Amino acid sequence: MKSFSARPAFWFLALALLAFGPRTGATIVGLNQIVTPDIQPTGVLALSAQAQHTLIGNSQQLQLELGLTPRLEVAWFEGLKPNEGLFSTEFNLVQQGPNLLTVGALNWSTLGGSPQPVVEYGYYTASDDFIIGTIRVDQRNALLAGYKHVLTEKLQFSTDFQSGTGGAATVGLTWNITPSLSINPALYRMNSSPHHLLGYVVLTWNFVLWK
């Protein structure tokens, strides 16, 4: 496919990590739709494959998300249909008890356009995460809100919301199939009329690159 020939280094790295990378415990950074103020653990790379309805976004996508420091992470999203790359980064300003405050720049596209600035506050407990924030999309500020509840050691429930015509309200589950492999199916109810109910699923594998 066109995206394979356009970015061979990305695909070589992804395949090499799948074959040889050491595995680690699964992490859940991000909910169904919105980013979250927690940062990918340092030295841990999350490799994901995602499929979703085209009204949500790129219908087929690979993702790399890496924690560079305890406060900084970077991510690359490689869209297949259509061919598009997106760069994102987040920096954690506050890590004090259950309180998190994070800023970031999301979705810097290879097709042009500016990154979307985001700021989020999170209140994280042992079994419940509460998130509120805002993101700048298409010259407008959109509200972000999310909630996650740990049901069992392997299963979590999540729901989130992003305002605006391109946003949605979602519900989903994350199942830790193994300590390093997780799957997150979700349903989106789009904000714009008609309010389509759409499907989404992402499979994530975590690797330790360094400690």
pLDDT digits (tens, 9 = 90+) for 166-189: 899 999 999 999 989 999 999 999
Give the CATH number of the domain where residue 7 resides.
Answer: 2.40.160.40
Q: What are phi and psi of 9, to 5 degrees?
A: -65, -40
Q: For residue 45, what are its two tokens? A: 């790379």
If you ran DSSP here, which 8-state letter would residue 13 be given? Answer: H
pLDDT (0 to 100) of residue 7 = 54
| Domains held by the chain: number | 1
For residue 32, what are the domain limits? Answer: 2-208
- Name residue 202's beta-bridge partners: 50, 184
pLDDT of residue 20 exceeding 50, the answer is no
40 has a pLDDT exceeding 70? yes
Give the mean pLDDT of 62-84.
92
- pTM of the predicted structure, to 2 decimals: 0.85
Q: Which amino acid is at 24?
A: T
